[in-house]
Amino acid sequence: MKTNIPAKITSFLLVILVFFLYGCRNYIVPEEGALSLESARINFPKENVSEALWKGKHLDINYSISQNSDEVEISGTVNIHNSVLMSFDKIEQLVVKFNFLDNSGRVLGTADITPRYATYDKVEGPLDFKNVVSTVPGASSFAFSYLGTLFGRLNESSDTSEIFQFPFE
């Protein structure tokens, strides 16, 4: 029995794609129990409402956080650094995560706080987000993580930039 060579190539490429996508999954959602870098940990505020600024490698998050016994409300803006936007000013994809941590900095759960944006549109300023999520029992701190792809010229695939910050070991 003879196997068609294009079918072999297609199968091989599908296997590679599955492994690639599985590897990228860790940038989006860390596994429960993953240890965060100590420098990435932010303690939950003592007051009911707190406003703060978190500075990442490629973007900053201005956020307001309010928590009660059942829920955490987090809202604010994501500001992509001008140094990135000077060359790559359009978003293809952006995912921002809010990771609940225990006293030792281990991940207990993750919530999506991806801001609203229009795919392939030019970034004209801060990107807004707001999310209410269930409180994770035992969480005493949190950490942000993100993954994104930006581009400069729509028809030039070589003119893209991956941005990410994954502060977990």
Tokens of 59: 């973007």
Share of the chain above pLDDT 70, in %: 80
**Given this model, what pLDDT does residue 55 score?**
97
Tokens of 128: 């807004």
The residues, any chain, with a CB within 8 Å of residue 32's CB and separated by 6 or more, are 106, 107, 108, 109
**Given this model, what pLDDT does residue 25 score?**
44
**Given this model, what pLDDT does residue 38 score?**
97
Residue 163: what residue type?
I
Q: What digits encode the pLDDT tens for the residues 136-156? A: 999 999 999 999 999 986 655
Strand partners, 151: 90, 160
Tokens of 39: 């420098």
Q: What digits encode the pLDDT tens for the residues 16-65? A: 544 444 444 445 789 999 999 999 999 998 877 889 999 999 999 999 99
Domains of the chain: 5-165 (2.60.40)
Candidates 142, 141, 151; CA nearest to 120 is 151
Residue 155: what residue type?
N
Going 125 to 167 to 42 to 97, the CA torsion angle's sign is positive
